[in-house]
Structure 1
């Protein structure tokens, strides 16, 4: 935009200067030629009275002096054929002037000025002078050079002014663009400094108002989520008390473990809603995928045993670091395993595999022997089995946050869900056994 404004001003300034300087240059040339002709005529007219009355000897001396001082040829043709001054043969124009007619002729060499002097007893005398092209255009080229230099200076000055104005116009637009990108990157404290024309100041104010409104809405949303999550603590406490009153210690332990897991999830949800992002500033999300997957499989194995499902587990040994938070990874694995129980009948087995991903990270594969999951489940909010439709989307977002992806292959022989997780952004040390 800045370059286009500069080019526009340059083109406009050039057109204006051409429209002004070209006629002025032509006028200067005309004035210079008229000045030279007037000077020549003045020299010739100074001889008219003398030529009409003086004798040839006196006239010769005067003509020679004038030719020497006028810096141009001056010739007097007397009626008897005597030529005084510069010895120039009579031209057709001179012969025409002897008839008593004064005239001026022009050719490629310059202008010939002829004045017929009548009143002599012996006939009509003719005074001739010649103004060359160099004399006609004396000083013209210098004036044109001055005009050209003046035009160049005016164009450069116009470009400088246009560039300064364009910079003042473009800088606020660039700042608005930077602020909008910062807002898009979740830097909600970014604000634009109003500047430039009134329209841009209004846009900056509107952008700042929008950023503030987004902050308010997000703050209200986090508070609502946190309040809603906090309200779940009361029924969880009641559920824990009910579990402790069960007669079978095994049932008590199983239900209590489920309540503990749910309470941890609620606590994590409250913590995540209260803070600005899932990862504190300066830290990188990281988790040991082997440990998290093992814990979640052990949790779901109790329900699998109750529903007669055979579970096959093949996990890579040792810590497997992935670039996703522990809570997010646990929620993703729970969502995938929960889909197995939700979309397959009882007594349907499934297998969980964890392998190290080429280039870092891990690949979690969950395959079941059921009829396969309905199409479209991977889209947020889409479900054909009465669920919320958010399970696979949670897993997809966890995978994408780590630089991986979520794949789904479903058919008559069952469904295979592949969760690829990328490595953490910064290297992490060995995980502490938990």
Structure 2
């Protein structure tokens, strides 16, 4: 404001001084014309014209003597220049002074001197300066109010964002930010909301996984311990074989726990494609041996020239393990594994000749399980693992049961979408058993 106001004030002073000189020049010229005839006759003028406020007028004859009005005596140099035919204007002793000659036939017959104090000019500028100062103050107050309003409009949402970020850092993933109407701040708030939602979903998924895995794994581990203790109580049993089988089973469960905990964590990529054919062939010998004990068979049918799966081998192995455990424990007759192509996905069917699952096979397990159970993680968590890999686990047919695992296919020279479209089964009931 000072950079604008000070030059304006200085310019206004300069303009006022020049304007006042013009007023004095006109007044002196008018007076010179009005007294010309009298001075030409040698008479002393007696009447002066009406003068503007603050103007002091003096008339001098051809000898430089004051004949009318108020002026210095003896006459100063400015009167001498006027009697020589040269008018002048200057600031003398704090006055603005303008002199003009009274033109005669040959030489000037006299001179007129008009003067005004410079202080009178400044006094006339005081109201203008006060008005300018008041206007500047009003502008400053207005700008301050607008700046304060804008600062509050920007600071309030930023403070809310800071509070939301602090709550998010303290573990409150339910925090959500409002919208401030400022695009940049709203983008930050949206990113913070998205982060909170992702962290909340991740935490909920890991909590659910931990509950399901701990519950489902606790039962087979307890059963394993009971079988080992029973073998020790039977002196005629082959203890070495029982212990070796028990240790192998414990190792398998331990690997399962480690693998599942790793799968439960969110990943940034799909990793290497999985050869589903090789994975199924890897599971076939042990499963066939276990089914043969109860007089049942295992048939594996893999379609030729299938692409690899764009899913984790560990996740597919765990899901198939659950389906085979269910078929072994709850099913009947021959267990059949069919690996086939289904649109942009690979489908793995696991079927048996049993009576089918219960009314709600994909329901979460109860809080406390008693008695026997299914080895593995259970169908609820198996479905969750399949969905985490971009696939689905469905019950394609209820009697005799056919469970189908759909996983995205990793076609050569194509980009694999993280969530491919999976065809709906002809009949779908809640999964699990």
Q: TM-score normalised to the size of structure 2?
A: 0.48
Higher helix share: 1
If the length of structure 1 is used for normalisation, what is the TM-score?
Answer: 0.48
